[in-house]
Amino acid sequence: MKKTLYLCSPKQNLSYIIMYAIVDIAGQQFKVEKGKKFFVHRLTADEGSSVEFSKILLADNEGKVTVGKPYIDGAKISAKVVKHLKGDKVLVFKKKRRNGYRKLNGHRQFFSQIEIENIQL
């Protein structure tokens, strides 16, 4: 018996499949779709300005998957910087027992919220 692998169920219309891409932004990989918002490490661009990313590792255009070697040539993603903000505080506590050594350190990471405007392959 031969099995068929579907990206969506065979009864669904293929118009529901959304284009997405795996992109490298500041050393981290994100799965992005048009119109989605997410947080990345702080970018140097101002709020409201647009930025472009060209390090696209993989793209799926309605079931047609393109894999880069290591990146896809000529592909780019344009996004808009929505706002800059700081993340939640992370506490780092170090202790060595019987030595009287205790150290408490806090950290808040700087983030930028971006919204994907266009994926161009």
Report whether pLDDT(40) > 70.
Answer: yes
How far apart (Å, rounded) are the C-alpha atoms in residues 72 and 90?
Answer: 36
Q: What is the pLDDT of residue 11?
A: 54
Give the pLDDT band (50/70/90) at residue 4.
Answer: low
DSSP letter at 31 equals E
Report whether pLDDT(34) > 80.
Answer: yes
- Other CB atoms within 10 A of residue 40 CB: 18
Q: What is the pLDDT of residue 24?
A: 94
How far apart (Å, rounded) are the C-alpha atoms in residues 114 and 17?
Answer: 23
pLDDT digit string (tens) for 59-97?
998 888 989 899 999 999 999 999 999 999 999 999 999
Q: What is the pLDDT of residue 18?
A: 76
Q: What is the pLDDT of residue 48?
A: 93
- Residue 24 exposed, middle or buried by CB count within 10 Å (0-12, 13-18, 19+): middle
Q: What is the pLDDT of residue 7?
A: 58
Q: Any residues with CB less than 8 A from the CB of 23 and at least 6 apart, and which?
A: 29, 30, 32, 53, 55, 56, 57, 77
What's the rounded mean pLDDT across residues 100-110? 97
Higher-pLDDT residue of 14 and 17 is 17
- Residue 57 exposed, middle or buried by CB count within 10 Å (0-12, 13-18, 19+): middle
* Tokens, residue 32: 């992005």
Asked if 104 and 72 count as a contact pair (C-beta separation under 8 A), the reply is no
How far apart (Å, rounded) are the C-alpha atoms in residues 72 and 68?
Answer: 4
Q: What is the pLDDT of residue 121?
A: 83
